[in-house]
Structure 1
Amino acid sequence: MLVLAGAATLASARSIVDTLGIAGYALVALVSTLPSLLAVSELGVGAAVIDAFSSGNREHMLRTITAGARTLLCAGSAIAVCGVLTAVSGAADALLASTSGPGAAPCIAVVSVLFGCSLPLSLGGSVLGGLGRYHFAVLLQGAGTLIALTVVLLGAAYDAPPAVFAASVLIGQCAAGVGSLLLAGRMLRMRLLRVVLLPLRRFPDTRIIQLAGPMAVIKVTSAVAYGADRLVLSSITNPVAVAVYSAGAQLYAPASALVAAAALPLWRVFSRHRHTSTKTPRRNLLRLTAYFSAGGLGIGVLLVTAGPTVASWMLHGRAEVGPGLMAAFSVLVLTHAVNYPVAMWLSDPAGLRFQAVLAVLMAGVNLAASVPLAHLLGPIGPVLASAGAHFLCVTVPCHRRVFARRDSTAA
């Protein structure tokens, strides 16, 4: 399904380029990343939900879901308001720099509102993950990508404005979120969609900050670090460079999602392990790291060999995506793949706090390196900055924490 979703994403991008041109595609790609600079995904609430399910306590699960839903509804409302205010205040042109255009303000408003709606709906995937049914969440995400492609094709057929194309992905995400909540609710025999959208104080509140707080820091700082790459390019280069970067990122996204999908079930496995043992499973972690490294390397080779051709096809040959950019994205995939097993093990409160500090450091180093590298190397520069910052500031310290500690024995 991830392969099908990736193909649908590429077809969507090609259709956008065909309808709006390179500059229009750059605008849509840049605006689509803006909400992630305010907040990202489910703000770490999913971490608390998955951990709650590992306890097996149904009441604790419901309290955690309700508390998380309230948090995400408030965050989503705030993001929607910020986006609309940005659009109506005329700040869009200054924010988007060289990629700005007549349709920029409506794009920002529509994307922000839909992103705000998608936040509470994203809890469905976390609940399915907690139930050990993450494969259903992946299938529904793939279906959401097909819905997004349908919106893009309809928009192209009727010469829709850029806002329709920018909203397509979020429409698919909202649909996938609704489907996940309905399916998870059926498995739990409860009206989960109603609980999430109307999180009344029917259950006693519960604290989710121990896990959700650090996880939110990790996700927000990562989103700022990676999402700012397009803004950096937009400020110091031109729309073609933003389009080339975005085309490479369209191929990187499904590759990264594939590795993440393989890693997420480890969270539940390791959470249960910590409830039954105090030993660090170093042998298992080493084996998993080797597997993920091999998988990341294989995906990287595929990106380098096939990526330039596919990306150039996606851009109708109007801009060239070279092997250097795809090699940089391959290195980024590999650095994340190497770190995933250890990161999943460090998913207890102490481990997440440690990773949150590293994520803040990584974001600072990444942003500091992205600007000069973008000047020197163009679209390749920010990607190399991201890969280097993640490896030095996150991967190496996490591995040292797990494998250099002597207070736990290998299992």
Structure 2
Amino acid sequence: MPGYALFALATTLTALLPLGDLGAGAAVVNAMARSRDGDREPLRRAITSGARALMCAGALIAAVGIVPACLGVWTPLLGHTGQPGADSCVAVAFALFGCGLPLGLGKSVLIALNRAHVALMLQGAGSVFALLLLLTAAAVHAPSAAFVASGFLAQCAVGVLCLVLGSRLLGMPLLRLIADSVRRRQPRARIRHLAVPMVVINAGSAVAYATDRLVLSHVADPTNVAVYSAGAQLFAPVIGLISVAGMPLWTLFAHQRESQDEPSRRDLLRLTAHFAAGGLVAAVSVVLLGPTVGTWMMHGRIQVGADLMAAFAALLFVQAINYPVSMWLTDAAGLRFQAVRVSIMAAANLALSIPLARLIGAPGPVIGSVVAFTAAVFVPSLRKALSHA
């Protein structure tokens, strides 16, 4: 149990870094919308700018993980979950995560090309690859760091595959373009007006969700961290599927903005209703199947309760119905508005999660997320989108 708690915490600590993709994804999608008559120069410049920023950020992230690990700082920071080998686990996680940052541009390119479903399939293949690496590590009794590395190595492999596929679709050598981005003479685009609010949004989301395990590790016991992680493993692929369904709207709305053909209030309400229906089906499935599947995944050693899965289901539903609105608010002004709302949500969520985790354990931070997201993000964003549609 403590070993799994360490694995779960080490593999998610990188999500605490408030960097995300530094707005490169937004810049790539909007640059693709501006590309006309086969002119790929705006896209080339956006990819170059994003890749340079992500490579610098990746090097910084690797240092953030490795330097404290060499000083033995991570073990006490992990609270009850800290144990021998924790420093090496965190160092490996941060180093590989940093290496994978610029490779993640491949997914943004596929989304801009309306190939989000392809990115999802490659991500699924990456999960299978990660599982094979985990089984291999278990077979040879590898140290904990090898288990932590498996998922990040799979993410890097998926990023390379996405870039290779994107290169073929665009007729553009993306891997070489990313490698050459560090050269100062390469032409770049201005992406700050999109990147800054996206960084704030990513940072707010990281504080709101990625701190849940850390909060539990300090105010509860390792069992609660393990139970939460088991429920989150079921929540993550479902919300990922809904995210993939919503991503094409970003490209659609970006093209509509360039053609001055904004969606109407009726369009937004219709799309929101569709995502609400899909989110409701997914949420009911999580409640009905989650406790049994989660407990089976843990070989019966821990019990995943219906209360935890009900909380995850509520979070799944409210995030699902917010997707059309959040994708519509992806111009510069809309991203700035979302950045403010997500920052408020992050503060409210953390303030709620600590006492709720202390009071009811694993479901507490999830309930805090539901309340904070609904009040601070969804309701204001829907009101703003409908008022301008």
TM-score between both structures, scaled by the size of structure 2: 0.97
Preserved CA contact (<8 Å) 1:98 1:234: yes
Partner of 1:39: 18
Deviation at 1:278, TM superposition (A): 5.5
Partner of 1:350: 333
Q: Pick from 200, 217, 235: which aligns with 2:218?
A: 235
Partner of 2:9: 30
Q: Does residue 49 of structure 1 match 2:28?
A: yes
Preserved CA contact (<8 Å) 1:45 1:216: no
Report the secondary structure of 1:320's partner residue: coil
Partner of 2:179: 197
Q: Pick from 253, 271, 285: which aligns with 1:302?
A: 285
Partner of 2:305: 322
**Residue by residue, what CA displacement relative to the aligned partner does 1:318-370 show, whole Å, maximum 9, x if unpaired?**
11111000000000001101110011000000000000000110000000000
**Residue by residue, what CA displacement relative to the aligned partner does 1:183-219 show, whole Å, maximum 9, x if unpaired?**
1112222221111123134542211111121111101
Distance 2:20 2:234 in 1: 20
1:2-401 paired onto structure 2 within 5 Å: 22-56=1-35, 57-199=39-181, 200-277=183-260, 279-401=262-384
Deviation at 1:274, TM superposition (A): 1.0
Partner of 1:12: none
Which deviates further from its counterpart, 56-65 or 263-272?
56-65
**Residue by residue, what CA displacement relative to the aligned partner does 1:94-153 show, whole Å, maximum 9, x if unpaired?**
221001111101101100000001100000010111112222211111111111001100
Identical amino acids, percent of aligned pairs: 52
Partner of 1:15: none
Report the secondary structure of 2:145's partner residue: helix
Deviation at 1:36, TM superposition (A): 1.3
Give the RMSD, CA atoms, in angstroms. 1.2
**Aligned partner letter, 1:28:** F
Which deviates further from its counterpart, 367-376 or 159-168?
159-168
Deviation at 1:41, TM superposition (A): 3.6
Which deviates further from its counterpart, 314-323 or 346-355?
314-323
Distance 2:253 2:354 in 1: 38
**Residue by residue, what CA displacement relative to the aligned partner does 1:12-68 show, whole Å, maximum 9, x if unpaired?**
xxxxxxxxxx11111011011111111354222111111100111411110100000
Report the secondary structure of 2:78's partner residue: helix
Distance 1:52 1:46 in 2: 10
Q: Structure 1: where are the runs of 5+ without partners?
A: 1-21
TM-score between both structures, scaled by the size of structure 1: 0.92
Moved >6 Å (runs of 4+): none
Preserved CA contact (<8 Å) 2:18 2:200: no
